[in-house]
């Protein structure tokens, strides 16, 4: 189809049909201010900051939603436009508490940035508080409605990206607010703790339940042996917190920074990711062989586990009994590692650095204490880890490389790709293929399961047995697959599900902002990390093999089950409320 | 055969005044007088007479009685019915020189002209037979059996009927957009979520002549190719809901709704949905969201409902009054409508006359009538001889008219020139004992409550306008506040998401235009030098 020609502030621009004015303006380097628009979400045209003047139109139009038309003459800077935008901004600012210095988003707040761009020095209206109490009920996500600017990105994310709808608009008019069903705490409703809302909040109305202080207390306690594990996706994103462009792979600088913070050992969740493949791969083969419940659903993503417990309890027998890599690590740290190093497990303090907020909630689940203690003591998001580094003056991009400690820091490329959607599937297939066929997999890059499409399918021939696999990321896509299973229309053997778009690299604990473009760059870095490693199959990880030899026996052994596997239960959280 | 018919208005107003008890007393007294076989008592919808208690009409004498109570029923029966002597003290006397006459096609009621309300108060709204006896469903029959859908569309286009919900968009053009869409399913929605303060015309049309709406919707469905209709009625309109539901049932029983109407291939059925009271749900896209089960909030336009509406399907949303015009246009031809009203605005308009007025109520007048005629002739002037301050035309979002505009012929063109519109049909008369700023504050309080909260300018803007006006009224305002009110109102007018936020400032800016000095008078002089930062 022919391009559309228009002018924006007199500058000619040619765009394909369907392009919005906002997108067209960006092509000619005009950045139109916006607060409710987010590239991951359909426009809601609520904030009114992106209004533009279109010749011949009495009304101002929102650039985020207005489609370009041939011959259109757009002005983004007339007095009319500037006044309207400033009025909208002042109206928002006058309901915002302006506690910038004590806000988690100080320096990364979009409202603050736009106020600065507009040169706001005085606000025409007095401050009127927005109602709503802070909600600390969730182990993962804190809500502070007083800071909310009602852009609805969180609501849209929860509804459209995740199909969870844990939050929505309540009331109307001047006192409209974002709330949960029945005005309950996030912990008491069907929130999956994924934290995607945080990633899209332009201000500090949503943030993680911080564990920074308790980690410092442990680090400052000489009796404690504090060890840290880093999730696969953290290494491809934490650089962004230090101003590096998205897609920077900083694994070894991150290790150096963590050592400087004072952790006694720096380990890698990739190690237990490899272990997960051993356990889950054998579980899959067992189910195929013994006619167990299929398809097998992965269980590494705690947001996803919450989702299925909330919304599809009848499908729980499909979920792999494997704990997530974070929890396998915690269980082994306080058993295998403690024994090996001769440290009293009571004195071991396990910290995880995760791209995830749901991991905070997962660590606190009562089942997650098979070592006899809470297996993982504290969970920091990527953002919190960066804050801790900054608190002690660490400039991560400047540091020299350092190496993970042994043995729980040894891993393969199969472990690192856990951080991207499709990664668990690819890692599992690399191992399962060789275990079943007893042939060497020549090309380990199983690209068919990679990518950004919401649901992807693949079929692999294992010595005559065709294994049908599917991958979904983002819970709205997961819901689609679950509905297929419920209807009996899913003939897959194995399904990988990640709660967050892009997988863990797009997790709710990752640096803000996020977008498809940023997630793609992080994914490139993940696959680069995988390619750069000499070992790329989990079953080749020598530390994992040694663990089985010294401690667990074999995959799915009794001891493995005791420490590395778990069970689930349906939550049915609204049952008593609507009864 | 009955010698006399007594029509008793059974609408929400008269019921609250005891119409039911009056009817019972009437039946009892007629029976005692042995007149049950000679006199028939008929329940009708509103007779358009409001705030006058229970209303009766005695036919064929054409005598209207108002303020009828159980106590004076006996007198009406013994004097008028038995002896033929009119009970003068209860007789409804209009302004001198006017007579109440009910005519065949366009009954006049003083300066009124009744097209939409032709049957209201004349027929029993709960009887499909009476509607049919008054040419009801004839238009649908003619359309389905003798005309093509496009003929109906062209007739409505040619009539130049404009949407009576308030925007006055040409109905035929709107239908044309939906008609040209290729879709398996299309919808007709009747917008009966009448929420403007002071507006109750749609309620009285629905209570008085529900079958006209059903027929209008079926004709719309035929014209655009829709087989399904929804009537979205304000939940508080209990009687409208009951009557329309009953009428839908009757229409189905008579084969006028459902499959293969009049043995043609055209099928059409209607479902009633009740609104829960949000003003915004009168906005067509918010109404559609509400029917879909979502929070009632407006959608971005385009796409417009005729191309993508309910559940993404082509959808026509028409106001009750608009639809009530349709059967008449089909029966009498488009030229007939154009002969009524003015060139810019053919037809009639139903108004609800409220505020400081002697004779409030529901009126239907030809387009082009002046404000003076409505207020002083039909409305019988302002009580206590007070002066006229302003009129707000078209509901809370309506424009402000002052004494300067008393003789302006009311049609869309003339009103547009002065930044006003006919709107939903409420005409609020405010006398000169009122303070303009307080009146405006009252309007804004409503919007502050009813803004859906979606867009910044409307949500925060209505709140701040209310706050600033309240500040002025309470004597705390400074001069800069008046400027800020004006700036904010102007920004909302062009920058808010939907019609609500864009129209909410209209009365404020109207009052500022004509009465700015009244706002400035409210400023606290001691604080005049203080910054406007509040």
Q: What residue in A sits closest to B448 (Cα-Cα)?
A: A173
Q: What residue in B sits closest to A50 (Cα-Cα)?
A: B495
Residue B39 sits in a domain of what CATH number? 3.40.30.10
Domain-located, residue B533 = no
- Identify all chain A residues contacting B532, using CB atoms and an 8 Å cutoff: 124
Which residues have C-beta within 8 Å of that of residue A289, sequence separation ≥ 6?
A: none
Long-range contacts of B366-369 (CB under 8 A, 24+ apart): B366/B113, B366/B340, B366/B341, B367/B340, B367/B341, B367/B342, B367/B410, B367/B411, B368/B341, B368/B342, B368/B409, B368/B410, B368/B411, B369/B111, B369/B409, B369/B410
Are A171 and B453 in contact by the 8 Å Cβ rule? The answer is yes
Distance CA B534, CA B532 (A): 6
**Encoding tokens for residue B44?**
């009708």
Are B454 and A46 in contact by the 8 Å Cβ rule? The answer is yes
Are B282 and B197 in contact by the 8 Å Cβ rule? The answer is no
Does the domain formed by A4-93 have CATH 3.10.20.740? Answer: yes
CB pairs under 8 A between A and B: 109
Main-chain phi, psi angles of A472, to 5 degrees: -135, 145
How wide is the angle at C-alpha A134 spanned by C-alphas A132 and A137, nearest 5°? 125
Give chain A's largest Cα–Cα span. Answer: 79
Main-chain phi, psi angles of A486, to 5 degrees: -60, -40
Please identify which residue in the block is written with the tokens 């929804």: B230
Query: Which residues of A are the active-site residues?
Result: 280, 283, 300, 320, 359, 362, 367, 504
Going by their DSSP bridges, the two strands B4-9 and B54-59 should be labelled as antiparallel
Domain-located, residue B106 = no
Overall CATH class of domain A212-564 = alpha beta
B292 & B242 share domain: yes
Distance CA A104, CA A396 (A): 20
Average pLDDT of the residues of chain A: 96
Q: A55: distance to nearest CA of chain B, Å?
A: 13
CB contact under 8 A, B534 and A172: no
CB contact under 8 A, A173 and B456: no
Are A87 and B487 in contact by the 8 Å Cβ rule? The answer is yes
Please identify which residue in the block is written with the tokens 């297929």: A484
Are A158 and A167 in contact by the 8 Å Cβ rule? The answer is yes
Domain-located, residue B145 = yes
Residues recorded for chain B: 534
**Which of A46, A80, A131 is best to mutate for the B interface (most B CBs within 10 A)?**
A46
**Encoding tokens for residue A136?**
């600390």
Domain-located, residue B102 = no
3-class DSSP string for A409-475 = CCCCHHHHHHHCCCHHHHHHHHHHHHHHHCCCCCCCCCHHHCCCCCEEEEEEEECCEEEEEEEEECH
Please give the pLDDT value at position B198: 84
Average pLDDT of the residues of chain B: 90
Which residues have C-beta within 8 Å of that of residue B36, sequence separation ≥ 6?
A: B27, B30
Above 0.90 for ipTM, yes or no? yes
Last residue of a domain, one of B402, B431, B460: B431
Neighbours of A122 (CB within 10 A): 7
Going by their DSSP bridges, the two strands B187-192 and B228-234 should be labelled as parallel
Say yes or no: A130 contacts chain B, CB-CB below 8 A: no
B153 & B259 share domain: yes
Name the residue facing A91 among B448, B452, B460 (closest C-beta): B460
How would you class B258 by CB atoms within 10 Å of its CB: exposed for 0-12, middle for 13-18, buried for 19 or more?
A: middle
Please give the pLDDT value at position B96: 27
Neighbours of B324 (CB within 10 A): 30
In chain A, domain spans = 4-93, 125-208, 212-564
Which of A300, A240, A253, A266 shows the shortest CA–CA distance to A522? A240
- Identify all chain B residues contacting A88, using CB atoms and an 8 Å cutoff: 456-457, 491, 495
B414 & B399 share domain: yes
Main-chain phi, psi angles of A330, to 5 degrees: -60, -45
A98 Rama class: left (phi>0) / alpha (psi -120 to 50) / beta: left
CB contact under 8 A, A44 and B496: no
Domain-located, residue B277 = yes
CB contact under 8 A, A174 and B451: yes
Residue B504 sits in a domain of what CATH number? 1.20.1440.230
B196 & B261 share domain: yes
**Dihedral sign for Cα atoms in the order A61, A64, A66, A70:** positive
B411 & B379 share domain: yes
CB contact under 8 A, A88 and B495: yes
B166 & B136 share domain: yes
Q: Which chain B residues touch A if contact means CB-CB below 8 Å?
A: 278, 280, 295, 297, 300, 302, 447-457, 459-464, 466-467, 484, 487-488, 491, 494-497, 502, 532-534
Are B82 and B26 in contact by the 8 Å Cβ rule? The answer is no
In angstroms, the Cα distances linking B494 to A51, A150, B156, B499 are 10, 21, 31, 10
CB contact under 8 A, B453 and A176: yes
Are A517 and A501 in contact by the 8 Å Cβ rule? The answer is no
B146 & B228 share domain: yes
B423 & B457 share domain: no
Element (H, E) at B483: helix B479-495
CB contact under 8 A, A125 and B457: no
Residues recorded for chain A: 579
B305 & B447 share domain: no
- Identify all chain B residues contacting A121, using CB atoms and an 8 Å cutoff: none
How wide is the angle at C-alpha A286 spanned by C-alphas A283 and A289, nearest 5°? 150
Domain-located, residue B114 = no
Please give the pLDDT value at position B2: 79
Say yes or no: A65 contacts chain B, CB-CB below 8 A: yes
Say yes or no: A143 contacts chain B, CB-CB below 8 A: no
Q: What residue in B sits closest to A122 (Cα-Cα)?
A: B533
Domain-located, residue B105 = no
Q: Which residues lie across from A221 on neighbouring strands?
A: none
- Identify all chain A residues contacting B495, using CB atoms and an 8 Å cutoff: 48, 51, 59-60, 84, 87-88
B285 & B408 share domain: no
Distance CA B437, CA B445 (A): 12
Distance CA A52, CA A50 (A): 6
Does the domain formed by A125-208 have CATH 3.30.70.20? Answer: yes
Q: Name the CA radius of gyration of chain B, rounded.
A: 24
B399 & B518 share domain: no
CB contact under 8 A, A150 and B488: no
Domain-located, residue B485 = yes
Are A78 and A62 in contact by the 8 Å Cβ rule? The answer is no
- Identify all chain B residues contacting A37, using CB atoms and an 8 Å cutoff: none
Q: How many CA atoms lie within 13 A of B265 on its CB side?
A: 4
Please give the pLDDT value at position A560: 97
Last residue of a domain, one of B415, B431, B447: B431
Low-confidence ranges of chain A (pLDDT < 70): 1, 576-579
Please give the pLDDT value at position B102: 39
Domain count, chain B: 4
Give chain B's largest Cα–Cα span. Answer: 81
Last residue of a domain, one of B372, B398, B431: B431
DSSP A160-176: IISS----EEES-GGG-
B210 Rama class: left (phi>0) / alpha (psi -120 to 50) / beta: alpha
Q: Which domain holds residue B76?
A: 4-93
Going by their DSSP bridges, the two strands B361-366 and B348-355 should be labelled as antiparallel
- Identify all chain A residues contacting B462, using CB atoms and an 8 Å cutoff: 173-174
Q: What residue in B sits closest to A82 (Cα-Cα)?
A: B491
In angstroms, the Cα distances linking A517 to A246, A354, A522, B355 are 9, 21, 9, 59
Mean pLDDT by 10 residues, chain B (534 residues): 83 87 93 89 78 84 87 91 88 48 43 85 89 94 96 97 92 98 97 90 92 98 98 94 96 96 96 94 96 96 97 98 96 92 88 90 88 90 94 89 92 86 88 96 93 97 97 95 97 96 94 96 72 46
Are A391 and A399 in contact by the 8 Å Cβ rule? The answer is no
Residue B372 sits in a domain of what CATH number? 3.10.20.600
Are A430 and A497 in contact by the 8 Å Cβ rule? The answer is no
Q: What residue in B sits closest to A152 (Cα-Cα)?
A: B454
B362 & B290 share domain: no
Distance CA B439, CA B493 (A): 20
- Identify all chain B residues contacting A60, using CB atoms and an 8 Å cutoff: 494-495
CB contact under 8 A, B460 and A45: no
Please give the pLDDT value at position A578: 62
Which of A559, A561, A189, A566 shows the shortest CA–CA distance to A365? A566
Say yes or no: A131 contacts chain B, CB-CB below 8 A: no
3-state secondary structure at position B424: coil
Which residues have C-beta within 8 Å of that of residue B155, sequence separation ≥ 6?
A: B329, B330, B333, B334
Residues 94-123 of A with CB under 8 A from B: 94-95, 122-123
**Encoding tokens for residue B246?**
């009953």
């Amino acid at each position: 189809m022919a391009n559309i020609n228009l002018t924006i502030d007199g500058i000619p621009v040619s765009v394909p049909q369907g392009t919005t004015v906002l997108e067209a303006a960006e092509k000619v380097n005009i950045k139109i201010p916006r607060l409710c628009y987010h590239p991951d979400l359909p426009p809601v045209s609520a904030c009114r900051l992106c209004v533009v003047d279109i010749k011949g139109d009495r009304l101002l139009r929102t650039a985020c939603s207005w489609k370009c038309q041939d011959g259109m003459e757009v002005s983004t800077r007339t007095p009319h436009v500037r006044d309207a935008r400033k009025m909208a901004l002042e109206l928002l600012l006058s309901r915002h508490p302006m506690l910038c210095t004590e806000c988690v988003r100080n320096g990364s707040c979009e409202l603050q940035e736009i106020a600065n761009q507009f040169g706001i020095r005085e606000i025409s209206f007095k401050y009127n508080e927005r109602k709503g109490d802070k909600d600390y009920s969730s182990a993962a996500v804190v809500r502070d409605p007083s800071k909310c600017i009602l852009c609805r990105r969180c609501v849209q994310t929860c509804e459209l990206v995740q199909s969870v709808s844990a939050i929505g608009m309540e009331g109307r008019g001047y006192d409209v607010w974002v709330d949960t069903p029945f005005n309950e705490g996030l912990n008491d409703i069907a929130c999956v703790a994924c934290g995607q809302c945080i990633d899209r909040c332009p201000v500090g109305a949503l943030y993680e339940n911080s564990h920074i202080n308790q980690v410092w207390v442990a680090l400052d306690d000489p009796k404690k042996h504090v060890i840290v594990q880093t999730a696969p996706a953290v290494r491809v994103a934490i650089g962004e917190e230090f101003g590096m462009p998205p897609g920077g792979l900083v694994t070894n600088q991150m290790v150096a920074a963590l050592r400087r913070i004072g952790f006694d050992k720096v380990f890698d969740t990739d190690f237990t990711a490899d272990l997960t493949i051993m356990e889950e791969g054998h579980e899959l083969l067992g189910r195929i062989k013994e006619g167990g419940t299929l398809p097998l659903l992965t269980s590494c993503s705690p947001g996803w586990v919450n989702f299925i417990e909330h919304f599809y309890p009848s499908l729980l027998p499909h979920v792999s009994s494997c704990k997530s890599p974070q929890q396998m690590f915690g269980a082994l740290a306080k058993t295998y590692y403690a024994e090996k190093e001769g440290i009293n497990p009571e004195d071991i303090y396990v910290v995880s650095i995760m791209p995830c907020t749901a991991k905070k909630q997962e660590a606190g689940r009562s089942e997650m204490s098979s070592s006899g203690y809470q297996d993982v003591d504290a969970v920091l998001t990527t953002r919190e880890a960066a804050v801790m580094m900054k608190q002690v003056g660490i400039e991560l991009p400047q540091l020299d490389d350092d190496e993970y400690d042994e043995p729980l820091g040894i891993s393969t490329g199969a472990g690192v790709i856990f951080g991207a959607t499709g990664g668990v599937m690819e890692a599992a297939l690399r191992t399962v293929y060789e275990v079943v066929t007893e042939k060497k997999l020549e090309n380990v890059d199983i690209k068919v399961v990679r990518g950004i499409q919401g649901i992807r399918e693949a079929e692999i021939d294992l010595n005559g047995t065709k294994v049908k696999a599917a991958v979904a990321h983002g819970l709205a896509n997961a819901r689609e697959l679950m509905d297929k299973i419920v209807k009996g229309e899913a003939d897959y053997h194995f399904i990988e599900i990640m709660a967050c778009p892009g997988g863990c690299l797009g997790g709710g604990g990752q640096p803000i902002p996020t977008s498809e473009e940023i997630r793609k760059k992080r994914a490139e870095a993940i696959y680069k990390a995988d390619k750069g490693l000499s070992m790329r199959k989990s079953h080749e990880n020598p530390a994992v093999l040694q663990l089985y030899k010294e401690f667990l026996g074999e995959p799915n052994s009794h001891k493995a089950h005791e420490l590395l596997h778990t069970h689930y239960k349906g939550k049915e959280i609204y049952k008593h409320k609507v009864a | 055969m009955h010698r006399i018919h007594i029509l008793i208005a059974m609408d929400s107003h008269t019921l609250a005044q005891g119409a039911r008890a009056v009817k019972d007393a009437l039946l009892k007294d007629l029976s005692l007088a042995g007149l049950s076989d000679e006199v028939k008592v008929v329940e009708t919808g509103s007779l358009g007479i409001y705030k006058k208690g229970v209303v009766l009409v005695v036919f064929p004498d054409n005598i209207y009685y108002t303020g009828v109570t159980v106590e004076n029923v006996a007198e009406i029966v013994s004097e008028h019915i038995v002896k033929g002597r009119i009970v003068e003290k209860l007789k409804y006397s209009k302004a001198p020189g006017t007579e109440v006459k009910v005519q065949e096609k366009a009954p006049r009621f003083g300066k009124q002209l009744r097209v939409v309300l032709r049957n209201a108060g004349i027929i029993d709204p709960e009887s499909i037979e009476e509607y049919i006896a008054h040419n009801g469903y004839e238009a649908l029959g003619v359309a389905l059996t003798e005309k093509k859908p496009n003929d109906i569309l062209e007739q409505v286009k040619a009539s130049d009927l404009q949407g009576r919900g308030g925007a006055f968009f040409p109905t035929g053009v709107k239908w044309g957009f939906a008609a040209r869409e290729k879709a398996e399913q299309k919808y007709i929605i009747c917008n009966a979520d009448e929420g403007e303060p002071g507006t109750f015309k749609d309620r009285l049309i629905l209570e008085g002549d529900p079958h006209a709406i059903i027929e209008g919707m079926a004709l719309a469905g035929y014209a655009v190719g829709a087989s399904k209709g929804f009537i979205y009625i304000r939940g508080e309109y209990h009687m409208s809901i009951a009557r329309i539901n009953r009428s839908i049932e009757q229409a189905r029983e008579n084969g006028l709704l459902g499959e293969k109407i009049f043995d043609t291939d055209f099928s059409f059925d209607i479902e009633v949905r009740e609104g829960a009271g949000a003003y915004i749900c009168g906005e067509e896209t918010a109404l559609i969201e509400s029917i879909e089960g979502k929070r009632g909030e407006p959608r971005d336009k385009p796409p417009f409902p005729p191309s993508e509406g309910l559940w993404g399907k082509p959808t026509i949303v028409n106001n009750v009054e608009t639809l009530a015009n349709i059967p008449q246009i089909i029966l009498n031809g488009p030229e007939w409508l154009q002969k009524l009203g003015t060139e810019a605005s053919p037809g009639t308009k139903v108004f609800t006359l409220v505020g400081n007025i002697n004779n409030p109520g529901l009126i239907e007048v030809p387009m082009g009538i002046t404000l003076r005629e409505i207020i002083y002739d039909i409305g019988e002037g302002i009580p206590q001889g007070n002066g006229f301050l302003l009129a707000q035309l078209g509901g809370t979002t309506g424009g402000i008219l002052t004494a300067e505009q008393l003789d302006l012929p009311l049609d869309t063109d003339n009103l547009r020139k002065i930044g006003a519109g006919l709107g939903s049909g409420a005409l609020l008369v405010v006398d000169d004992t009122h303070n303009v700023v307080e009146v405006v504050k009252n309007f804004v309080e409503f919007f502050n409550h009813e803004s859906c909260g979606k867009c910044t300018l409307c949500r925060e803007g209505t709140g701040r306008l209310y706050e600033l006006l309240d500040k002025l009224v309470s004597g705390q305002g400074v001069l800069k506040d008046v400027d800020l009110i004006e700036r904010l109102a102007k920004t909302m007018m062009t920058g808010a998401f939907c019609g609500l936020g864009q129209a909410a400032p209209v009365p404020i800016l109207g009052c500022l235009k004509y009465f700015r000095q009244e706002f400035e008078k409210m400023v606290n002089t001691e604080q005049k030098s203080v910054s406007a930062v509040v």
